[in-house]
Amino acid sequence: MALEKLELKHVPPTYHVYGALFRDVANTDFLHKQLLSRNSEFEYAFIDASSVISRLHVLSAVYSAINVLLDGTLRTPNVHSEIVVSLNTNNNIADAYRRWGITPGKTKDLIVIKVIPPPQSPAQEQDETATTQQQQQQEAIWDHLRQHVQGIPAPLTDAELAQATDWPKVRKYYRLNGVPALDRLADERERRREMESLVVMGMALRGL
Amino acid sequence: MAPTETHQFPPPKVLTYHHHQSSSSSPPPTLITQGAEGRLYKTTHLTRDRPCALKYRPPKPYRHPVLDARLTKARLASEAKVLERCRREGVSVPAVYAVDPAAGWMMMEWIEGVPVRVRINAWLGERCGEEDGEEGEEMDETPLVDLMKRVGEAVGALHRTGVVHGDLTTSNMMLRPPPPPPGQVNGREEEDNKAKVLEGEVVLIDFGLATQSMSDEDRAVDLYVLERAFASTHPRAERLFASVLASYRDAFKKASSVLVKLEDVRMRGRKRSMLG
């Protein structure tokens, strides 16, 4: 199964986060329509992988959205749309959907994130069954994704994500052109790492 | 393991979510320092392998809650913006990982190493022992002078970007050790330690009082505060402060006029006179 359970620090353990990557997705039209019609079976964060540089980049957005969810101050319909909005460096929601969300006919590689908050009734939280329940949950999500996303599953790793990155686009979205801190770095690896830092910082400062 | 028992104060909520599975256990957050305005914890950012510093400004019970929230938010935002500006300009400062202005915390890159203050004192202390009272004529000051130059460059780079720190001391500068060369032998580390004590990159930290300013006056006061702090923390190295200023002078174009201003500030102290 290519659906990974993502462990994030500073997130309550009762919240489950899953992530997957699909390459060469053929039915972005269909997926986009499900989002527009608010189909509750498609409560996922669909992220265009070409606007993303690394796993940390995605995880930072996921964390930021969950933190807002915990706080009860979502600015968009749900935690999944909030993830997409968290990738932006400003508060323009429409812009964020266009840049990081799914675009029919354009999006090729797709990151999928699913956040499951704890069940409303605390009675369900029995330690004995928690693990099996969680596994069933993970399998159910994966079955649903495999059924409806027509693409090639790939692990959500830095190496896979790097292949999908459209650097000129990322540099534009995160204002990384003509930045002295990057221009003085000769080593490409170091420069990538510093870009990641600046990207995460730009997201962290959104709305301040 | 009881995770948070060592805290003197209740930690911020963000540090209270613990995973109990052994697979995700990591060291519990530890309180590093407690200042007038806030506390600094060491914890991890998102994944176990990313150490981070969490700066927390707890609510002040004596302030009106609305005012308190607004002040906390404004200060965190200002600190984060200054750090971003520095970082983009290539000044060595911690990166910001996440900010929650409503909850009063900010996660930042954990800077390895120790404060410059500690290293200078360690170095001076050691030399003192070796010379044994003799007024160190033979004492080779090159490594210390070299560190002073790096301090001057760091402050110069900061001022060049239009930021003044507001609380420059040798405690608010970290000496980050250079990354270990690939394939280093463990045993060799010890014998070189003495020479390496002053090595590393100067990283400025704690921008809680920083402001954006390009004025000679503000920059000169920044230098003056550092000069005074230096004199009281390292009286035996006071005369080496000239090396800080010398390398500062070369850091940017307007530095020399800042140094002229510094003369004025020395005459009157940090505060400006209300009379003309």
What number of C-beta contacts closer than 8 Å exist between A and B? 86
> Is A189 in the B-facing interface, judged by CB distances under 8 Å?
no
Cβ neighbors of B44 (< 8 A, separation 6 or more) are: A9, B26, B27, B50, B51, B52
Q: Would you say residue B5 has pLDDT above 50?
A: no
Q: Do A181 and B88 touch (CB under 8 A)?
A: yes
Mean pLDDT value across chain A = 93
- Strand segments, DSSP code E, in B35-158 are 39-44, 51-56, 96-100, 105-109, 114-115
Q: Do B95 and A181 touch (CB under 8 A)?
A: no
Query: What pLDDT shows up at residue B125?
Result: 82
pLDDT in tens, B155-212: 999 999 999 999 999 999 999 998 777 665 554 545 456 667 889 999 999 999 999 9
Provide the token pair at A178: 């003509």
CATH number of B13-109: 3.30.200.20
Does this complex have an ipTM over 0.85?
A: yes
Provide the token pair at B174: 């970290």
> Is A9 in the B-facing interface, judged by CB distances under 8 Å?
yes
Spatial separation of the C-alpha atoms in residues A197 and A202, rounded to whole Å: 9
In a domain, A188, yes or no: no
In a domain, A144, yes or no: yes
**pLDDT bucket at B130, cuts 50 / 70 / 90:** low
> Is A64 in the B-facing interface, judged by CB distances under 8 Å?
yes
Nearest residue to B251 via CA among B80, B130, B97, B89? B89
pLDDT in tens, B34-82: 887 889 999 999 998 999 999 999 999 899 999 999 999 999 999 999 9
Domain parsing of chain B, residue ranges: 13-109, 114-268
Mean pLDDT, residues B112-119: 95
Query: What pLDDT shows up at residue B2?
Result: 43
Count the domains in chain A.
1
Residues 61-80 of B with CB under 8 A from A: 76-77, 80
Cβ neighbors of B93 (< 8 A, separation 6 or more) are: B83, B86, B87, B203, B204, B205, B207
Query: What pLDDT shows up at residue B23?
Result: 47
| Helix, coil or strand: residue B54 | strand
Give the chain A residue nearest B96 (alpha carbons): A201
Q: Do A71 and B100 touch (CB under 8 A)?
A: yes
Q: What is the dihedral of CA A153, A157, A159, A160, to 10 degrees?
A: 20
- What DSSP character marks residue B214? -
Query: What pLDDT shows up at residue B9?
Result: 77
Provide the token pair at A123: 């009675």
Instruction: Write out chain B residues lying below 8 Å of A184, CB-based.
Output: 90
Query: What pLDDT shows up at residue B255?
Result: 97
Q: A167 vs chain B: nearest CA distance in angstroms? A: 18
In a domain, A109, yes or no: yes
The phi, psi pair for A20, rounded to 5°, reads -150, 160
Q: A195 vs chain B: nearest CA distance in angstroms? A: 10
Give the domain range for residue A57. 4-166
Spatial separation of the C-alpha atoms in residues A200 and B98, rounded to whole Å: 8
End-to-end CA distance of chain A: 40
CATH class of the B114-268 domain in this structure: mainly alpha
Please tell me which residue in B68, B100, B146, B167 is annotated as part of the active site.
Answer: B167
Mean pLDDT, residues A156-182: 96
Instruction: Write out chain B residues lying below 8 Å of A56, CB-based.
Output: 46-47, 50
Mean pLDDT, residues A18-42: 96
Least confident of A59-68, A118-127, B107-116, B198-207: A118-127
Q: What burial letters (b/e) apply to A71-98, b meaning 16+ CB within 10 Å?
A: eeeeebeebbbbbbbbbbbeeeeeebbe
Instruction: Write out chain A residues lying below 8 Å of B97, CB-based.
Output: 60, 200-201, 204
Give the chain B residue nearest A200 (alpha carbons): B97
Instruction: Write out chain B residues lying below 8 Å of A8, CB-based.
Output: 46-47
Query: Closest partner residue to B100 among A67, A198, A201, by Cβ?
Result: A67
Query: Closest partner residue to B102 among A9, A60, A71, by Cβ?
Result: A71
Nearest residue to A59 via CA among A102, A115, A108? A115
**pLDDT bucket at A125, cuts 50 / 70 / 90:** low
Residues 116-145 of A with CB under 8 A from B: none
The reply to whether B167 belongs to the active site is yes
Q: Do B87 and A181 touch (CB under 8 A)?
A: yes
Q: B21 vs chain A: nearest CA distance in angstroms? A: 9
> Is B247 in the A-facing interface, judged by CB distances under 8 Å?
no
- What DSSP character marks residue B58? -
Q: B50 vs chain A: nearest CA distance in angstroms? A: 10
Spatial separation of the C-alpha atoms in residues B162 and B191, rounded to whole Å: 42
Work out whether strand B105-109 and strand B96-100 pair parallel, antiparallel, or are unpaired. Answer: antiparallel
Q: Do A59 and B19 touch (CB under 8 A)?
A: no
Q: Do A180 and B88 touch (CB under 8 A)?
A: yes
Q: What is the CATH number of the domain that holds A77?
A: 3.30.2380.10
Spatial separation of the C-alpha atoms in residues A16 and A130, rounded to whole Å: 11
> Is B20 in the A-facing interface, judged by CB distances under 8 Å?
yes
Q: A38 vs chain B: nearest CA distance in angstroms? A: 29
Residue with tokens 């498609």: A42
Q: A72 vs chain B: nearest CA distance in angstroms? A: 12
Cβ neighbors of B144 (< 8 A, separation 6 or more) are: B120, B123, B124, B198, B237, B240
